[in-house]
């Protein structure tokens, strides 16, 4: 049986570099998927869950601690996850938030290896303005979008399905919204499959480790 097409549910991620300024953006010759979302949506928890490690990405009780682009390489899966600074954190200065915004936009505009953006949204909340603006911005630039509904373990089954329905019309046709919980592992296998599908073009297969 050909196992190269089977999605990995543990990505064996490692932090390969960090960029605080646009001129520090690395030239990584691998497909890249960016992780975007509000400061407290659980991006670091998602990275740790996918990596199968508890402390690869630092989790802070204070939102807004990620102030750089963090590049996590999965040599086994053959692509790179790029954790973007969280948005919507009011305690940071306008100048600081503007700097993050320029860094994120520089990355999204200049990186020719970007394959998709995984937009993380809180499953407990109806679509929020900043999240919808991010989705609209990505769609206007034809950047493939993967919607990940985090903290799904804290919602009832009825609320989960309701939230998926609310986001479905904004999702990419090829990638339906994914219910995810870094705490329980809910949706981990489905998300890994979608990430692999997004990272590689049709007919292109991940490298064999």
Mean pLDDT, rounded, of the chain:
83
pLDDT band at 3 (very low <50, low <70, confident <90, very high): very low
Q: What's the rounded mean pLDDT across residues 120-132?
A: 92
Residues in the chain: 209
What is the architecture of the domain spanning 13-199? Answer: 3-Layer(aba) Sandwich (3.40)
Q: What span, in angstroms and rounded, lies between the C-alpha atoms of 7 and 169?
A: 26
Domain ranges of the chain: 13-199
Q: For the chain, give the percent of residues with pLDDT over 90.
A: 47
Look up the pTM and report it: 0.84
Per-residue pLDDT, 94: 58
Q: What span, in angstroms and rounded, lies between the C-alpha atoms of 82 and 152?
A: 22
Across 2-6, 80-84, 144-148, least confident range = 2-6
Task: Give the burial class of 97: count Cβ atoms within 10 A of its Cβ; 0-12 exposed, 13-18 middle, 19 or more buried.
Answer: middle
User: Which of 127, 123, 198 is CA-nearest to residue 169?
Assistant: 127
Per-residue pLDDT, 66: 56
């Amino acid at each position: 049986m050909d196992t190269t097409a089977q999605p990995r549910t543990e990505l064996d991620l490692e932090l390969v570099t960090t960029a605080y300024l646009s001129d520090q953006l690395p030239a990584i010759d691998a497909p890249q998927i960016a992780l975007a979302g509000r400061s407290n949506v659980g991006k670091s928890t998602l990275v740790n869950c996918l990596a199968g490690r508890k402390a690869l990405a630092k989790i802070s009780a204070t939102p807004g601690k990620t102030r750089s682009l963090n590049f996590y390489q999965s040599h086994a899966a053959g692509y790179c996850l790029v954790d973007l600074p969280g948005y919507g954190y009011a305690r940071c200065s306008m100048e600081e938030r503007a700097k993050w915004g320029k860094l994120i936009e520089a990355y999204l505009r200049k990186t020719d290896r970007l394959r998709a953006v995984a937009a993380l949204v809180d499953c407990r909340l109806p679509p929020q303005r900043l999240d919808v603006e991010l989705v609209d911005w990505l769609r206007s630039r034809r950047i493939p979008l993967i919607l990940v509904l985090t903290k799904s373990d804290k919602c009832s089954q009825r609320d989960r399905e309701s939230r998926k329905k609310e986001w479905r019309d904004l999702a990419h046709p090829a990638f339906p919204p994914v219910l995810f919980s870094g705490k329980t592992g809910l949706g981990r296998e489905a998300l890994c499959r979608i990430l692999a599908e997004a990272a590689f073009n049709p007919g292109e297969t991940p490298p064999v480790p």
